[in-house]
């Protein structure tokens, strides 16, 4: 991990895991994926009602965003710890 990435992750991790999961997982990935997915499905010509599809998407994708946020947190933390340990050696 480059020094710039290390310092960026250090700033991110000081904000905390919960804040990271909310902003990067639920909002950043979940809500944006729900909106983009709903628009794409609508333009492709699905037979479902737009608002029904949007509601389902705004429930399902943010829930999946929790998993996304948790997994990317631990993945990033693992890379960070390995980089820190390699710097010490």
**pLDDT tens-place string over residues 14-51:** 999 999 999 999 999 999 999 999 999 888 887 888 89
Entry pTM: 0.86
For residue 39, the enclosing domain spans 3-83
Query: Can you give the C-alpha Rg of the chain in angstroms?
Result: 17
Q: What confidence tier does 72 reach under pLDDT thresholds 50, 70, 90? A: very high
pLDDT of residue 89: 63
Does a structural domain hold residue 88?
A: no
Task: Provide the domain count of the chain.
Answer: 1
Does any domain span residue 89? no
């Amino acid at each position: 991990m480059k020094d710039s990435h290390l310092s960026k992750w250090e700033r991110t991790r000081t904000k905390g895991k919960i804040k990271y999961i909310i902003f990067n997982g639920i909002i950043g990935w979940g809500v944006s994926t729900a909106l983009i997915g709903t628009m794409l499905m609508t333009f492709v010509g699905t037979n479902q009602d737009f608002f029904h599809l949007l509601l389902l998407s705004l429930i399902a994708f943010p829930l999946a965003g929790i998993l996304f946020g948790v997994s990317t947190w631990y993945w990033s933390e693992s890379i960070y710890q390995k980089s820190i340990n390699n710097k010490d050696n």
